[in-house]
A and B are shown apart, each in its own frame.
Chain A
Amino acid sequence: MFSRAYKATVTLPPLLWVTVFLLVPYLLMFCYSFWSVSAAQTIVHSWNLDNYARLLRVEVYWQTLLRSMWIAARVTIFSLLLGYPLAYFLSFYAGKKKDLFYQLVIIPLWVSYLVRAYAWKTILGSDGVLNTLLQYVHLTRHPLEFLLYSPFAVVLTLTHIYTPFTILPIYTALEHIPRNLVEASHDLGATPAQTFWKIIFPLSIPGVVAGATFAFVLSLGDFLAPLLVGGPSGIMISNIVVSLFGAAFNWPLGAAISLALLVVVVSLLFLSERLEKKWSFS
């Protein structure tokens, strides 16, 4: 029904654009990671693995990568623990208020990232809202210094930011569960707990996997929240990359570290796609 000319007209412009502005830049990053910087601070286009060797040799690089993964893992776990029951409530118990609750969940998702990260800074600071509240009710006499500028603050802020990202895919998965399966389970005498663990939870796993992937991947690469609330001990891998692209001026090494990050991220995306397929029923 559609002519060759029609198909070419709708296909070529996006294809070309995406090649120039997405494929080429990602490939360029790959190339950069094999280049180096001369003493005169110019890029030397000779191909070698020095940057990768440095990434493995210099402790602070791979240790920060591991620590970032640990921060991202904690964010993921907390987001799921907060998000799953809420999604479950929304799908099975909210009744007529479902639409209202759904909107309440998506609103924070679209509230400025920066605004939310900044809000935690004003809450956790030594003369911030939380510390002055604690002193006001005489729970503490001095401000608790560990609240701000710590890995704790980073995990808390990122959990707050990415929890809605886990709620929505889980909710979508729960909504796709045929309700007659749940009714059948009840009718056949299963307790609510049995129905949950044997029917509902297994069928919601694709949503859990999708939500966990979002939370992990997005928090792993975050560099703004650590700068804002992390302090020296809350530094993450992307902060090192930022400094290599800025003051330290070593783009090739920065590209190599970004690529290491990209490898972690892409393998996770690949894995989660496999898992989602494996657990989805149809």
Chain B
Amino acid sequence: MEFLVTSASESQGTLPRSRWLSFHAAAVLSFLYFPIAVLVLYSFNAQGVGGFPPHHLTLDWYRILFADGAIWDSVLNSLQVALAAMAISLALGIPAALALDRAQFPGEALFRRLVLLPLILPGIITGLSLLMLFNVMGAKLSLMTIVLGHGTALISVATTEVFAGLQKLDRAQEEASLDLGANYWQTFWRITMPNLKLPIIGAALLIFTLSMDEIAVSFFLIGRDNTLPLEIWGRLRRGITPEINAVSTIIFLFSLVTIVVWYRLRVRAEGSADLGAN
């Protein structure tokens, strides 16, 4: 997923306007945003999800949503899962990036491919193979198994981001620290980690968002307690209920804020790296 670590404006060349291309761009962006707009709009529609034109704007669905205990339980579950998964992915992804950057080890090529697989393969394959593992181990399915699934599947997000950060890191600083008598542990916490602050925060946000939204792997590892996407899924299977529009709108706003924060961090990380290079 190289595109996750690239951002806009690498090159400057801009051609004069083309009417056809502008029109196409506008049309595709409308296509991408149309369903989201419908969702948001109809979350305020008194008649629920069907019917054009929408009329009688209301906040009833939000009221129903806020009184809905099961949804908020699942939100809490999802928050716990996302935070725990974030901790696992970072705790393993950061050392993995260091290992790929500075150690040669047997199976390095296989390792590189293996950690990326959960992001590239359809979720069903990762979900089912983990289900088989837990089954063979005799582990009971619960939020814990989902945490292990997400934590493992998202290691590569941390590895990719931190590895990109390490490529830009000036090795001389660490060398100086070691020469001046600091041990590896001190050097790691005082030199390496502070320099990787932005990639790590970026990775953490990304892992958090991806875990909050993940459904294909969780689908197979779910025990008795639902995560938010699985709670929504259960309701959708029973039929369309307008409070789902309301919760979707809230999720949308939430991801929107996270993305903007993440993107700002990304730009800042690159800006400071450029300054360092000049």
B-contacting residues of A (Cβ < 8 Å)? 1-3, 5-7, 9-11, 13-15, 17-18, 21-26, 28-29, 32, 82-83, 85-86, 88-95, 98-99, 101-108, 110-116, 118-123, 125, 127-129, 132-133, 136, 160, 163-164, 168-169, 171-172, 175-177, 179, 182-183, 192, 210, 214, 217-218, 220-224, 227-228, 238, 241-242, 245, 251, 254-255, 258, 261-262, 265, 269
| A-contact 0/1 string along B40-59, CB 8 Å cutoff | 00100000011111000000
For B237, the closest partner residue in chain A by CB is: A227
User: Which of B107, B122, B256 contacts A261, CB < 8 Å?
Assistant: B122
Q: A245-B131, A261-B125 are in contact. Are A82 and B36 (CB under 8 A)?
A: no
Q: A132 and B51 in contact (CB under 8 A), knowing A14-B96, A90-B25, A265-B121?
A: yes
Of the residues A29, A89, A108, A129, contact of B36 by C-beta under 8 Å: A108
The reply on B167 being an interface residue by CB < 8 A is no
Distance in angstroms between the alpha carbons of A78 and B27 in the assembled complex? 14
A-side contacts of B50, CB under 8 Å: 122, 125, 127-129, 132
Residue of B nearest to A92 (CB): B15
Residues of chain B contacted by A221 (CB below 8 angstroms) = 121-125
Q: B52 near A93 (CB under 8 angstroms)? A: no
Cross-chain contact A251 with B132 (CB below 8 angstroms): yes
**Chain A binding surface, main DSSP class:** helix
A27 → chain B closest CB, angstroms? 8
- Nearest A residue to B118 via CB reads A22
The reply to whether A93 and B251 form a contact with Cβ atoms under 8 Å apart is: no
Residues in B with CB closer than 8 Å to A129 are 38, 42, 49-52
Contact call B95/A9, Cβ cutoff below 8 A: yes
CB distance from A99 to the nearest CB of B (A): 5
Find A15's partner among B22, B52, B105, B123 (CB 8 Å cutoff).
Answer: B105
Chain B at the A interface: mostly helix, strand, loop or mixed? helix
Known: A83-B28, A129-B50. 14 other contacts (CB 8 A): A1-B174, A17-B152, A18-B115, A24-B133, A25-B126, A32-B132, A89-B24, A101-B8, A101-B29, A116-B35, A160-B35, A172-B3, A221-B123, A224-B216
A112 to B57 CA separation, bound complex (whole angstroms): 25
**What is the count of residue pairs linking A and B with beta-carbon distances less than 8 angstroms?**
284
* Contact with A25, one of B2, B96, B129, B233 (Cβ below 8 angstroms): B129
* Whole-angstrom CA separation of A245 from B240 in the bound complex: 26
List, in ascending order, chain B residues with CB within 8 A of A91's CB.
11
Q: Is the CB of B155 within 8 A of A15?
A: no
- From residue A154, how far is it (CB to closest CB) to chain B in Å? 14
A183 neighbours in B (Cβ, 8 Å): 13
Could you pull out 17 A-B pairs where Cβ atoms are within 8 angstroms?
A: A7-B105, A18-B114, A22-B152, A24-B133, A29-B128, A93-B17, A122-B245, A129-B50, A160-B31, A163-B31, A172-B6, A179-B13, A217-B122, A220-B122, A224-B216, A224-B219, A227-B237
B residues in contact with A122, CB < 8 Å: 38-39, 42, 49-50, 240, 245
Query: Which B residues are CB-close (under 8 A) to A13?
Result: 91-92, 95
Within 8 A of A (CB), among B1-25: 2-3, 6-18, 21-22, 24-25
For window 188-235 of chain B, which residues contact chain A by CB distance below 8 Å? 209, 213, 215-216, 219-220, 229, 232-233
- Find out whether the CB atom of A262 lies under 8 angstroms from the CB atom of B252: no
Report the count of interface residues on B (CB-CB < 8 A): 96
Closest beta carbon of chain A to B256's beta carbon, Å:
6
User: In the complex, are the beta carbons of A28 and B92 less than 8 A apart?
Assistant: no
**Docked CA distance A83–B25 (Å):** 9
Q: Quick check: is B67 within 8 A (CB to CB) of the other chain?
A: no
Interface residue? B99 (CB, 8 A): yes
Q: Please report the C-alpha to C-alpha distance between residue A262 and residue B15 in the assembled complex, in whole angstroms.
A: 43
Q: How far is the CA of A276 from the CA of B104 in the complex (A)?
A: 26
Contact call B128/A163, Cβ cutoff below 8 A:
no
Verify A175–B11 contact, CB threshold 8 A: yes
Q: Which residue of A lies closest to B7 (CB)?
A: A102
